Amino acid sequence: MNKSKIYDNILDIAETLIQTQGYNAFSFRDIARTIGIKTSSIHYYFPTKAELGKAVVARHIDTLHAELVQVLENEAISYKKKINLFLNSVFSKTYASNRKMCLGGMLASDVLTLPETIQFEVRVFFNRIEKWLEQLLSQGKTKGYFHFTGTAKREAEFILALLEGSLLLARLFQNEDKLKIARKKIESHLF
């Protein structure tokens, strides 16, 4: 059911804060100030920071995954286009807006300081994406659209790692060219 507008609002702001500043740098205060409520009101919706964090990642996974599954299943979309849609989701969409890092990548760097429940979700995040990508690569290779060497799993791992690193450095230098370079490298690997 509808979990109220404020509930979603809190999640939205928390998500943005994690993507820009990281888990340890954001506070209930930041969120409260932005919405115009008190921190105790946030505790009404999310008893602890750990639960808020977990909810942010869980929602993010669901949204992204639903999006990706639709792309994979749509036979009207070419394989080249599918890869491009994927890169857009994880890439330009996050970075282009306000120097956001990938949510999973940000939390991966905070991993040793995260509550275990959130650590778990972060791994789910990457497992899901990797699995999806592996499937796409595998299918595309069988059908003759992709031409990489090695397993689809390895290729998926490679692409994900390159993606995360490129986002990190593009953001640091505020240089979108670094994203383009990664994109081209990935494409030159597959086509």
Partner DNA sequence: GTCTATATATAGATAGAC
Partner DNA sequence: GTCTATCTATATATAGAC
How far is it, in rounded angstroms, from Cα 180 to Cα 58?
Answer: 29
Interface with a second copy (CB under 8 A), residue from 8, 93, 111, 187: 111
| Interaction partner, residue 181 (a second copy, DNA, none; CB < 5-8 Å by kind) | a second copy
Burial of residue 70, with CB atoms counted within 10 A of its CB: 0-12 exposed, 13-18 middle, 19 or more buried: exposed
Length of the chain: 191
Site string (40-79) toward DNA, x via CB under 7 A: xx-xxx-xxxx-----------------------------
Q: At its nearest, how many Å lie between a second copy and the CB of residue 167? A: 8
| Interaction partner, residue 169 (a second copy, DNA, none; CB < 5-8 Å by kind) | a second copy
Interface with a second copy (CB under 8 A), residue from 30, 51, 110, 176: 110
Number of residues that bind DNA (CB under 7 A): 20
Task: Break the chain down into helix, strand, coil percent, rounded to 5.
Answer: 75, 0, 25
The DSSP letter of residue 101 is: P
| Interaction partner, residue 157 (DNA, a second copy, none; CB < 5-8 Å by kind) | a second copy
Q: What is the dihedral of CA 88, 187, 137, 158, to 10 degrees?
A: -90
- Give the amino acid at 66: A
Site string (22-51) toward a second copy, x via CB under 8 A: x-xx--------------------------
